[in-house]
Chains A and B, each alone.
Chain A
Amino acid sequence: MARYEVYVTYKQGIFDPPGATAERALANLGYEGVRSVKIGKYIQIEADAGLETVREMCERLLANPVIEDYRIVTEGEA
């Protein structure tokens, strides 16, 4: 059994309304140094599957390659 962490984020240049809202809200709270906030998804997977298979899961279902990038972190044996 292996454990994976998957981070799904919008591709560069795609407007992220919740991220932009958080960015403005932080500025309203007085945090002046905030350049950019992006909000994405974090997915934990425990599976008897190799990295290639997890990559396929991302391509087919967990991320939409038209608008999203994904990054898989292998966490080792679960």
Chain B
Amino acid sequence: MRFGVVLFPGSNCEQDVVHAAQTLGLTAEYVWHGDTDLSGFDAVVLPGGFSYGDYIRCGAVARFSPVMAEVVRFAERGGPVLGICNGFQILTEAHLLPGALLRNTGLKFICHPQPLRVERSVCHWLDLPEGTVVDIPVNHNEGNYYCDDETLERLNANGQVVLRYCEPDGTRAPGGSAPNGALDDIAGVCNERGNVFGLMPHPERAVDPLVGTTDGRPFFTAIAKRLAEVAG
């Protein structure tokens, strides 16, 4: 099991992803944004950060990096792709995931541990039971998920909403539990096939007991387990 962690100019969470994978006994290597070869990788992670300085829009420039054409092909072949924070923004800009990430409604950069509710979904990256509450840090300025009504209906019907922001007990506040104003409290979505997954929170920062929570571990181990099973 080998993760490829794509490094764009301005990425800053790639080391955390590699550290998380290694902590869990998995192998992860960096992939330069100018590379066009993903052969040898079993899964690809687009890490958080500020690719290309967030110029034009978050992820708008990164999606045209040479490596992204290969990431699109990798995803089309069914390869697992995970986008965390800026990586999620890049995946929406690349049309690998529906919707867009808008500026947080409160205009504040938010940075704190955040309870998230696992929804029943087709996502390949997570095998936690529906209703599980995980505590994972959020750290972003543009995490306010938006899509049109028709897309939202489709996401709900297809089981593409993977995670929702929630209260510590797993319920959702009547006015919404999203700290950034996200539509329907959506924190993470996957594509229809389930192999491409994007989320604003940072599971790679919740792997080492040193930082107080290990709730992020399943976000890396579930896909490793799944790939091992497929390989037989």
Contact A64 B57 (CB under 8 A): yes
B147 touches which of A15, A18, A61, A66 (Cβ 8 Å): A66
* Chain B residues within 8 Å of A17, by CB: 102-107, 181
Contact B99 A15 (CB under 8 A): no
Given contacts A61-B64, A64-B57, whether A15 and B93 have CB atoms under 8 Å apart is no
Give chain B's interface residue range (CB within 8 Å of chain A). 10 to 19
Contact A14 B103 (CB under 8 A): no
Contact A66 B106 (CB under 8 A): no
- A21, CB-defined interface residue at 8 Å: yes
- B100, CB-defined interface residue at 8 Å: yes
Beta-carbon contacts under 8 Å, A18-46 to B: 18, 21
- B32, CB-defined interface residue at 8 Å: no
- A62, CB-defined interface residue at 8 Å: yes
Look across to chain A and name the residue whose beta carbon is closest to the beta carbon of B107: A17
- B146, CB-defined interface residue at 8 Å: yes
- Residues of A within 8 A of B (CB-CB), count: 10
CB of B109 to closest CB in A, whole Å: 12
A64 touches which of B100, B104, B105, B107 (Cβ 8 Å): B100
Look across to chain A and name the residue whose beta carbon is closest to the beta carbon of B148: A66
Beta-carbon contacts under 8 Å, B76-122 to A: 92-93, 99-100, 102-107
19 contacts between A and B (CB under 8 A): A14-B102, A14-B146, A17-B103, A17-B104, A17-B105, A17-B107, A18-B107, A21-B107, A64-B57, A64-B93, A66-B92, A66-B99, A66-B100, A66-B146, A66-B147, A66-B148, A67-B100, A67-B102, A67-B146
Chain B residues at the A interface, C-beta cutoff of 8 Å:
56-57, 60-61, 64, 92-93, 99-100, 102-107, 146-148, 181
Chain A residues at the B interface, C-beta cutoff of 8 Å:
14-15, 17-18, 21, 61-62, 64, 66-67
